[in-house]
Structure 1
Amino acid sequence: MAEFPFHTLMIQGTTSDAGKSTLAAALCRLLRRDGIAVAPFKPQNMALNSAVTADGGEIGRAQALQAQAAGIAPHTDMNPVLLKPSSDTGAQVIVHGKVRADMNARDYHRYKTEAMQAVLESYQRLRAQYRAIIVEGAGSPAEINLRARDIANMGFAEAVDCPVIIVADIDRGGVFAHLTGTLDCLSPSERDRVIGFVINRFRGDIGLLQPGLDWLEQKTGKPVLAVLPYLHGLHLDAEDAVAATQSVRGHFRVVVPVLPRISNHTDFDALRAHPDVDLQFIGPGQPIPPADLIILPGSKNTRGDLNWLKEQGWPEAIRRHLRYGGKLIGICGGFQMLGEGVDDPHGVEGAPGQSEALGLLAMRTELTRDKQLLQVSGRCAFGSGDAAVSGYEIHMGVSRGAALARPAFVIDGRNEGAQSADGQILGSYLHGMFDTPQAFSALLAWAGLGAVDAVDLDSLREASLERLADATAPLYQALKRLETRFARCEGVVPVKRG
């Protein structure tokens, strides 16, 4: 069997959501199957879905999934620069897992030269440890306005001299225009390092596509390395965007407002997967339907999203929901919204000030400059009080008040979160509370669904990674057969098979 010929391989896309994240995860799993030590890498990520690493930092959620595919623990070097948007023009800049500053777009553009040094430091550390590095680009390399000081796509590829695959999503339409147009926007040296194309999410008769593939190869001189199928029903962590399509299945209705700065909506993946649950994300202007359970999600801008909730009529809907016996959960920023107020004296999320919250729990939150980043475990303090739970905390703020005397969880020996005296409201800083099967069952029983078989999200994720890898195997074999100037480069460590 041929060895994998590349030490570093970068996947770029014609658009956002072309399939870069899932393709990187699939290649990590295939390399792992071959006994090749592999690590994922994304130089710069802009996402509000993040994960806490074992070394106490924060990275994009997609890189944590890719690390699982590779069979290794997530580390901050896998995503050295993470941007978490807090407004339309500004973002929190996280470097090597820690908050560096809040910057607007122009300030960050000037900062990119320094950010590139952090990127290269992380890359070199990974390169010294792993036989293969699978790199994921961001957005598209054809964004001409972002080419100067680029660290996310071709700027990185040129800096480390690695080959690039370009992937396009045929389900969007215009796939050949996407690929040829992207190639035309690149410089000659950047075009030279593109070793081929991948067409993603194909469904139909491949024979009808073949004339287009032949035309593309003739026009560009680049091979189509693989046409990958549209895979339905994958249970994989989304990098950022909330799924546009939702299926109504179960009889137990759960609704979640899609806040403008919603963060870590992966908290609801286990609910989405359960056959008894009808999970609905409610966007701006949509009617708020009746529900058994309302969940206020995490937020990167609690005060701003709180104002949005008020404008959309959620406080009235929530009071009506509680009046008729419904249950309510607030997670992280959503938990802060349940209190009497949110204070931002230091301008952590924008202009300093105070916001009146929903007034449903006797507590108040002060936003702080220090971010809490923890992987935690413990037990549920509601129901029988013995259900195990694990998850992670990512928040900037401290909540205080009488409501905390009735905790939602006991985490590492300390009380965490709050419950209302009437048992209808539960709030916590704990992300991933539904991911532990015991906690999932306890939370759904508390919310009124009764005894249910829990979803084992980790098993679903593993099965999806295996299925994804199987579908991507033709690309992997094509790469192993490929001979380019990048193949079998000097200094490559021999493959060690387990």
Structure 2
Amino acid sequence: MSEPRERKPAVMVMGTGSNVGKSTLVAGLCRIFVKRGLNVRPFKPQNMSNNAAAVEGGEIGRAQVVQALAAKVPASVHMNPVLLKPEADNRSQIIVQGKRFGLMRARDFGARRETLMPHVMDSFARLEREADLVIVEGAGSPAEINLRRGDIANMGFAEEADIPVILAGDIDRGGVIASLVGTHAVLPDDERERIKAFLINKFRGDVSLFDDGLKEIASRTGWRSLGVAPWLPEAAWLPAEDALDLEREKSTRGRKLKIATPVIARIANFDDLDPLGMESDVELVFVRPGEPLPGDADLVVLPGSKSTIADLAFFRAQGWDIDLAAHVRRGGHVLGLCGGYQMLGKTIADPDGIEGKPESVAGLGFLDVHTTLSGDKITRSIEATHLATETPIRGYEIHLGQTSGADCERPVIAIDGKPDGATSRDGRVAGTYAHGFFVSDAFRSAYLRSFGAASSLAYAERVEQALEALADHLERHLDIDAILDIARQRSRTKIPA
């Protein structure tokens, strides 16, 4: 029998529900403990998001890339070993350790626990060997006890890896006392005991007004209070992972360029637009279903999609195809990114039923190109040149399918000398498979200048400032020493090597 090995300190941040700020809290904690001299790794056993990033030739949730940046380490596919990318209301593509693993229907996921958990534990062990501290992010809520049997994202993982938990509640949405106390009420005793403390996130106003609330939660649960984190405007500078975060609090006064993006049903990689939304000369509008594309938009960006053919039907159902045609007739510009690029063509064929039933559909017809979907998925980081502005860009590709046609003779970028994308004859409609290139300051500045707008943003610097501001904010308002002590409780026992 092998000698026991010591567990590394680890703590898991769970939430009372989705969108309570778990990803941001983990990023902030990663930066705090790095500044204290620790070698930190973020980890999320299972994520559900179409906002993915290309890492090590695979893909993981975008939030884990931001957390790796906060921890000042390269992102790894092992930081998010299971990624679910919804393709329909009841079906998701499964990515395991960065690679496409297959499709899964919602009702079948619980049966996949025994298949997926070994991959999750393998990835966690790899990170644990590298780190002084692992900070784990849960998904959704541990109170979803109807899903507990097949759980690998919350208590299922915490139990398997024997990790203590802190529970975050979002006071901004209301009902935070009931959500924390209610979580305590529905959990079995052993899982209640695994939760060592709680915190309140996104408080607006005088924090002292919630002192009695903290006492009431602690009294009813027996959990220790770690404090209240007030609302932090700078958190909006970090790339958003959830489509619920698309709306940013921002004035539009004095903007020179209006960009509109339709929020399609399976929108993917919408963080492509984050740098544009931060520019002082840009008004970025996310158009919700049922709303028309604004007639005064200068540029319409069709975003990425996890299910291009289905989202094209959704696009038409909103009447956006009519709005887009009017926009083009008025002399407006259009940019399609990945799935949005495919939609702009004349046809999209799915002969093997990659996205659903085998079929071929008419595209929007603004580009003279044709797309055929196939099972060969391209996932890679790229360094390229934007041909119109002759500026370098860095980004990534995550897509299924090949696109060809006459307008490909006017490509948008060149990757290692090879053309990508297509441009209409009049130059006002373009599409590319590349993601993430608006992060490149020189390109973004040149691109905006072509619309008469100026760039005032150093994007990477702004994100770094946001991470520093977040770390300082949490350090001020939460009991960070207590969080570290909770994480160290795990290292006081040993496990077989």
Matches within 5 A, 1:160-199: 160-199=161-200
Q: How far has the Cα of 1:370 moved from its partner? A: 1.4
Aligned to 1:341: 347
Give the AA of the match of 2:400: M
User: Structure 1 residue aligned with 2:365, among 349, 355, 359?
Assistant: 359
Map of 1:89 onto structure 2: 90
Partner of 2:270: 265
Change (3 A) 1:263 1:254: same
The answer as to whether partners of 1:168 and 1:175 remain within 8 angstroms in 2 is yes
Q: 1:265 to 1:244 in 2, by over 3 A?
A: closer
Indicate the residue corresponding to 1:495 in structure 2. none
Number of the residue aligned with 2:293: 288
Maintained 8 Å contact 2:383/2:416:
yes
In 1, Cα distance between the equivalents of 2:311 and 2:300?
Answer: 16
Alpha-carbon offset, residue 443 of structure 1: 2.1
Kept in 1: contact 2:448–2:455 (CA 8 A): no
1:404 match: 408
Within the candidate set 283, 303, 307, 2:309 is matched to 303
**1:425 paired residue number:** 429
Counting only pairs closer than 5 Å after superposition, residues 205-284 of structure 1 correspond to structure 2 as 205-234=206-235, 235-243=237-245, 245-246=247-248, 247-249=250-252, 250-284=255-289
For 2:487 and 2:123, the matched residues in 1 are separated by: 26
Are 1:317 and 2:318 counterparts?
A: no
Gaps of at least 5 residues in structure 1 are 493-498
Distance in 1 (CA, whole Å) between partners of 2:244 and 2:178 is: 27
Q: What RMSD over aligned residues (CA atoms) do the two structures have, in Å?
A: 1.7
Distance 1:58 1:487 in 2: 30
Structure 1 residue 363: Cα displacement? 1.0
Distance of 2:483 and 2:25 partners within structure 1: 16
Task: Tell me if the contact between 1:434 and 1:443 (Cα under 8 Å) persists in the aligned partners.
Answer: no
Offset of residue 157 of structure 1: 0.5
Count the aligned residue pairs: 483
What is the CA–CA distance in structure 2 between the aligned matches of 1:275 and 1:96, rounded to whole Å?
A: 38
Which amino acid is the alignment partner of residue 470 of structure 2? L
State the shift of 1:428 in Å. 0.4
| Alpha-carbon offset, residue 144 of structure 1 | 1.6
Cα offset, 1:378, TM superposition = 1.5
Q: CA deviation at 1:145?
A: 1.4
Alignment deviations for residues 102-144 of structure 1 (CA, whole Å, 9 cap, x no partner): 1111222211211111101101111111111100000000012
> Is the Cα contact below 8 Å between 1:440 and 1:454 reproduced in 2?
no
- Of 8, 27, 30, the residue aligned with 1:28 is 30
Query: Take 1:127 and 1:237, find their aligned partners in 2: how far apart are those partners?
Result: 26
Alignment-mate amino acid for residue 393 of structure 1: E
CA displacement at 1:219 relative to structure 2:
1.9
Shift of 1:101: 0.6
| Alignment-derived partner of residue 395 in structure 1 | 399
Instruction: Report the AA paired with residue 436 of structure 1.
Output: S
Counterpart-to-counterpart distance in 2, 1:48 and 1:262: 7
Q: How far off is 1:252 after superposition?
A: 1.3
Quote the offset at 1:488 in angstroms: 4.7
Is 2:247–2:286's contact at 8 Å kept on the other side of the alignment? no
Distance 1:434 1:454, change over 3 A: farther
Q: Write the deviation string for residues 213-234 of structure 1: whole angstroms up to 9, x where unpaired.
A: 1122122211111210101143
Q: Distance in 1 between matches of 2:211 and 2:481?
A: 17
Q: Residue 415 of structure 1 aligns to a residue in which SS?
A: strand
Q: Which runs of 5+ in 2 are unaligned?
A: 1-6
Q: Which residue identity lines up with residue 245 of structure 2 in the other structure?
A: A
Match in the other structure for 2:74: 73
* Secondary structure of the corresponding residue to residue 471 of structure 2: helix
Instruction: Select 1:477's aligned residue among 464, 476, 480.
Output: 480
The alpha carbon displacement at 1:273 in A equals: 0.5
2:335 to 326, 329, 332: 329
1:459 aligned residue: 461
CA–CA distance in structure 1, aligned partners of residues 46 and 246 of structure 2: 25
Mapped to 2, the partners of 1:88 and 1:487 lie a distance apart of 38
**Deviation, structure 1 residue 482:** 4.2
1:371 touches 1:396 (CA, 8 Å); kept in 2? yes
Partners of 1:183 and 1:50 in 2: CA distance: 32
- Tell me the equivalent position of 2:447: 443
- Paired AA for residue 479 in structure 1: A
Q: Offset of 1:484 from its aligned partner?
A: 8.9
Residues 109 and 150 in structure 2, CA contact (< 8 A), matched pair in contact too: no
- Compared with structure 1, are the counterparts of its residues 370 and 161 closer, same or farther at alpha carbon in structure 2 (3 Å cutoff)? same
Instruction: State the TM-score, normalized to the length of structure 2.
Output: 0.94
Aligned partners of 1:27 and 1:476 also within 8 Å = no
Deviations 1:78-97 (CA, angstroms, capped at 9, x unpaired): 00000000000000000010
Deviation at 1:263, TM superposition (A): 0.2
Identity %: 44
TM-score, length basis structure 1: 0.94
Separation in 2 of the partners of 1:489 and 1:220?
A: 25
The answer (yes or no) to whether the contact 1:248–1:279 under 8 Å persists in 2 is no
Closer, same or farther in 2 for the Cα pair 1:174/1:262, shift >3 Å?
same
Per-residue displacement from partner, 1:306-327 (whole Å, max 9, x unpaired)? 1111121222222211111111
Measured in 2, the distance between the counterparts of 1:43 and 1:322 equals 44
Question: Offset at 1:165?
Answer: 0.3
Distance in 2, matches of 1:87 and 1:128, equals 37
